[in-house]
A = this chain, B = another copy of it.
Amino acid sequence: MTPTASDLQRVLEKIHRDLQPRLGQGRVADYIPALAGADPRRFAMAVATLEGAELGVGEVDAPFSVQSISKVYALTLVLRRLGERVFERVGREPSGSAFNSLVLLEHERGVPRNPFINAGALVVTDLLLEEHPDDPLGALLELVRGLARSAAVHVDGRVAQSEKAHSHRNQALAALMKSFGTIRGEVATLIDVYCAQCAITMSCRELARSFLYLANHGLPPGAGEEARLLTRSQAKRLGALMLTCGLYDESGDFAFRVGLPGKSGVSGGVVAVIPGLLSVAVWSPALDEHGNSRAGIEALEQFTTETGVSIF
């Protein structure tokens, strides 16, 4: 009972209609000026299927910076290079704490709980710098452009600058990990690359498309085995990480309500994957108290309810 493309389009349209009265509820991220100006009522939702269909509602071509969603791309790059060795420097347990907390980091002697809290993502970017010392950001952009099949994917310099000007807490995380030896590169360089990475900008349509490799167990659809990004086992593991840790300290709630591996960003993007079937992206800037898109999570909950697809 796999839904057809026209079923999916109908579901998206219903979701769009149903959400109208609640769009704009919540707070836009205001920790950096470059995000604070976003209109909380904006909305887009896009689906890409392994069969090649692309569907969408709302502003599916409007670009936005994907923020923490970029952590999945960076992790994919270093996993491909280093395999299990990645997990010598970062854990894989839900943290039970806010995304930018230093508490657990100190208790656990500088080894972050998982690659999706900020501390863990900084370690992943540090590994990216080690593996691609000449042009880490270029390597990342090349990957994302390929996955999104779009040369329009770019780093928004204004957003990156704004991130950097408000990066004291990430600097604190990096300096603390440097003191423990978990971070090995220069803190200043690391913060530069990390802020640029968070400012990777694309549309909702491109975002959905770019996650199809995870729906396809590590292989970008249509590509030959030589282009495989992750082994089937690695893809399973990345999916498990997204399910348990992808939405910060709301991950359990997201798993409970939506039941899919997903990843969110503070700009209001959320992307999720149904293994073997499709990937789905939503964007709406108004956030809930955990820093995740309120409409994004509601849309995905309704999506799984209406289509009846679930991994459980």
Contacts and interface: CB of A to CB of B under 8 A. Distances in A.
Interface of A: 91-97, 101-107, 113-114, 166, 168-169, 171-176, 178-179, 187, 217, 232-233, 235-241, 243-245, 249-253, 255-257, 259, 261, 275, 305, 308, 310-312
Contacts of A237: 256-257, 259, 312
A147 to B, nearest CB: 18
8 contacts: A94-B94, A96-B113, A102-B103, A175-B175, A233-B305, A240-B255, A243-B243, A243-B312
Contact of A256 (B240, B253, B311): B240
A256 B259 CA distance: 16
- Nearest 10 interchain pairs by C-beta: A96-B96, A239-B312, A94-B94, A93-B252, A168-B179, A172-B175, A172-B176, A240-B255, A171-B175, A311-B311
A240 B272 CA distance: 15
Nearest to A91: B252
B172 A179 contact: yes
A275 B240 CA distance: 16
A168 B172 contact: no
Contact of A171 (B171, B250, B259): B171
Nearest to A239: B312
B259 A240 contact: yes
B96 A97 contact: yes
Nearest to A169: B179
Number of copies: 4
B243 A256 contact: no
Nearest to A312: B239
A107 B106 CA distance: 13
A237 B201 CA distance: 33
Contact of A104 (B96, B114, B239, B240): B96
A255 B259 contact: no
Contact of A176 (B102, B178, B233): B102
Contacts of A311: 275, 311-312
Contacts of A305: 233
Contact of A252 (B114, B256, B308): B114
Contact of A96 (B92, B93, B172, B233): B93
A218 to B, nearest CB: 10
A124 to B, nearest CB: 15
Contacts of A94: 93-94, 96, 244, 251-252
A96 B259 CA distance: 20
Q: Which of A107, A187, A250, A252 has the most CB of B within 10 A?
A: A252
